[in-house]
A = this chain, B = another copy of it.
């Protein structure tokens, strides 16, 4: 950490998230602003092993801030899980005198980065890019704001049909380990209930809610992969026992990942990209950038990975009041 960083490489890894390109742009421009050379590694750890690494300049990242996905592409790498793979990756970086890494991704990305740091002692910083908002140490991850808006826009469209036909719709949204997209899109979409992984809701409870309500059409938002079952399973159980509504299911799926990022995700990603470069310059390593109460923080690996990101109980309380 005593030696000055001169050459930074940036890459994206794991599932893509809207705003990743804004983060890449910020890393590149901040690097140049601080007179560092900057390189792109394509296809995450896979490209690091395959030596898919190219230098970038300020114009390389022009006209990308508004684009979904990641221009650096992302991939899973089995080889990076082996010591040989990581050694190869390290040698490719060394060959170009790259002396620091910025990774953009979720917890899997940070875990790989942590291991790499431990083995080769190269400064590394992770930027949280995942739509799930499931990382402790930051109020928001990049992509979450956009994905929630995408879910809400889809729910708004489905509501048109629900209202036109007096139907009950079950809408499955993303968030296998975190109910943030589900609870917020449920509140914003005017759903009667949001079923999240953090809380079991029984069919009895749900039917009681539907039964008490005098709404002529209703929406239930379900986070995929939760312990209460999939949207399809829950719908089936409700349908068997509660016949007031004509019941339908829609699974939003991958369309929640893409799309042009919101201003919020673009600004968040811009802040975090700059903070990653400035963190490296200040000698930080093995940390994940976060934003807590509007301030940049740097979370070490243990803090980030050993805690659970908990759902805000206030959101559950609000959802209940509004569903009357």
Q: Evaluate whether A267 and B188 lie within 8 angstroms (CB atoms) in the complex, with A32-B324, A294-B293, A321-B30 already known.
A: yes
For A257, list chain B residues within 8 Å (CB): 157-158, 160-161
For A151, list chain B residues within 8 Å (CB): 263
Q: How far is the CB of A142 from chain B (nearest CB, A)?
A: 13
Q: How far is the CB of A54 from chain B (nearest CB, A)?
A: 17
Contact of A154 among B29, B160, B255 (CB under 8 A): B255
Interchain CA distance A282-B314 in the complex, whole Å: 18
For A211, list chain B residues within 8 Å (CB): none
Copies in the complex: 4
Contact of A63 among B63, B159, B314 (CB under 8 A): B159
Q: Evaluate whether A160 and B259 lie within 8 angstroms (CB atoms) in the complex, with A190-B63, A254-B248, A293-B293 already known.
A: yes
Interface string of A246-271 (1 = CB under 8 A from B): 00111111111111101110110011
B160 touches A68 (CB 8 A): yes
Interchain CA distance A254-B249 in the complex, whole Å: 8
A267 touches B187 (CB 8 A): yes
For A267, list chain B residues within 8 Å (CB): 184, 187-188, 315, 318
Q: Evaluate whether A270 and B187 lie within 8 angstroms (CB atoms) in the complex, with A165-B73, A257-B157, A263-B149 already known.
A: yes
For A256, list chain B residues within 8 Å (CB): 157
User: Counting CB contacts under 8 A, is A148 at the interface?
Assistant: yes
Interface residues of A in 195-211 (CB under 8 A from B): none
Contact of A184 among B165, B187, B263 (CB under 8 A): B263
User: Counting CB contacts under 8 A, is A16 at the interface?
Assistant: yes
Q: Which residue of B lies closest to A259 (CB)?
A: B157
User: Counting CB contacts under 8 A, is A9 at the interface?
Assistant: no
User: Counting CB contacts under 8 A, is A185 at the interface?
Assistant: yes
A75 touches B165 (CB 8 A): yes
User: Counting CB contacts under 8 A, is A236 at the interface?
Assistant: no
Interface size of A as a range: 35 or more
Contact of A161 among B25, B159, B258, B312 (CB under 8 A): B258
Q: What are 22 A-to-B residue pairs whose CB atoms are below 8 Å?
A: A16-B161, A26-B322, A30-B321, A32-B324, A33-B324, A58-B324, A65-B190, A68-B157, A68-B161, A69-B159, A69-B163, A69-B164, A75-B166, A149-B263, A157-B258, A158-B254, A158-B258, A160-B258, A187-B270, A270-B322, A274-B321, A294-B312
In order of increasing CB-CB distance, the 5 nearest A-B pairs are: A157-B258, A160-B258, A69-B160, A68-B160, A16-B164
A-B contacts besides A30-B322, A188-B263, 14 pairs, CB < 8 Å: A33-B321, A63-B163, A67-B160, A68-B161, A69-B161, A73-B163, A74-B165, A150-B157, A157-B254, A157-B255, A158-B254, A159-B258, A187-B266, A187-B267
